Amino acid sequence: MISPTMLLSQLGARDRTLFLRCAILDSSLRARRFWTILTHTLPMFLGGTLAVAAQHALTTLVVSHLLVQLVKRTVGRPRPSRSLECMALVVEPDRFSFPSGHAAAAMSVAFVYASAYPALALPLVVLAGAVGMSRVFLGVHYPGDVLIGQMIAVLTGVVVLR
């Protein structure tokens, strides 16, 4: 009988080998653009409700991101690690804290898909909420940053879905 540790170790070794083959297969700019477009826009080409939701999600994501960046640069609130002398547990994407772009992005996508698929609304919104709270627990945002980022996302989604 193979132990779970041994199985995981074997899987890990094979996984790393396969990853390296895929990652170095073609690392050209053209290849990276292709894979980026595929991973971010595939649902829009599938048709039906999913395609419409994907288009709305992309629009909501882009508009809310622009709004978040505008507010961030206008307000200029420093991150907790810069003002409270606490250590962030991840690399900070920039020096501004308010509002949270990660929280806005997660809620933007969750809100639109939740509107298109009401049966999935609760798990989607809970997951987006968890992404937002992770930013607080990782030391890169205050709770208010997360709340306002999520509010920007929801309000943007409401406008886009009209």
- 13-66 confidence digits (pLDDT tens): 776 776 666 665 666 777 777 767 666 666 666 667 888 898 899 999 999 999
- Report the CATH number at residue 57: 1.20.144.10
pLDDT(82) > 80: no
CB 150 within 8 A of CB 104: yes
What is the span of the domain harbouring residue 63?
46-161
Choose the final residue of a domain: 11, 27, 42.
42
pLDDT(155) > 80: yes
Average pLDDT, the chain: 84
**Same structural domain, 9 and 31:** yes
Confidence of residue 130 (pLDDT cuts 50, 70, 90): very high
**Same structural domain, 77 and 2:** no
Rounded-to-10 torsion of CA 59, 60, 64, 66: 0
Structural domain tally of the chain?
A: 2
**Same structural domain, 27 and 97:** no
Confidence of residue 153 (pLDDT cuts 50, 70, 90): very high
CB 135 within 8 A of CB 141: yes
CB 79 within 8 A of CB 95: yes
**Same structural domain, 82 and 124:** yes
- 134-151 confidence digits (pLDDT tens): 888 888 888 989 999 999
**Same structural domain, 92 and 22:** no
CB 141 within 8 A of CB 80: yes
**Same structural domain, 73 and 130:** yes
pLDDT(117) > 70: yes
CB 98 within 8 A of CB 71: yes
